[in-house]
Structure 1
């Protein structure tokens, strides 16, 4: 027949099919990638922020072209998460509302 209820519960609790050493390795790798990415983003953001501050109008190195270029790059990267969110909402909108365009499709816009 099949497994009894207690056997199913026992398997759910003990999780015999999971290779724990591989899980811990994956967790350590994920934490490593997260820490390295966070440090990189912090350093890059700090550099760009200082450059924007120093090259702004009326500041010490007020270079208008340089400020415009760095500002454009910062604004471009700042918009990427929102663009990803919009792309992820397209299937959701289509599923719920039946369309992704027009006034009806715009209901899910953040």
Structure 2
């Protein structure tokens, strides 16, 4: 393999009901994708006219495999892009407060 540039894009779904991460290669093709609905964690977006801006992280790596993990930790969603042998290539963390997400009933 040779060095490739990948872009991790974290955004909210069109209906403001969930979060998704996608990894694009240099040609714009999606290599990995993962997402979930807020309600899976008892959460909801608490806003009207505002939508959070997507977050982009670019990384260059010489890898044969990519894996995008999404986990919930300490009031945030964390996307981890892993390469060969689970090497961490990039991390994007979205805190609930940053995107105005709260537990249902708050």
TM surpasses 0.5: no
More RCO (CA 8 Å, sep 6+): 2
* TM-score, L = length of structure 1: 0.19
* TM-score, L = length of structure 2: 0.19
Q: Larger Rg: 1 or 2?
A: 1
Structure with the larger strand share: 2
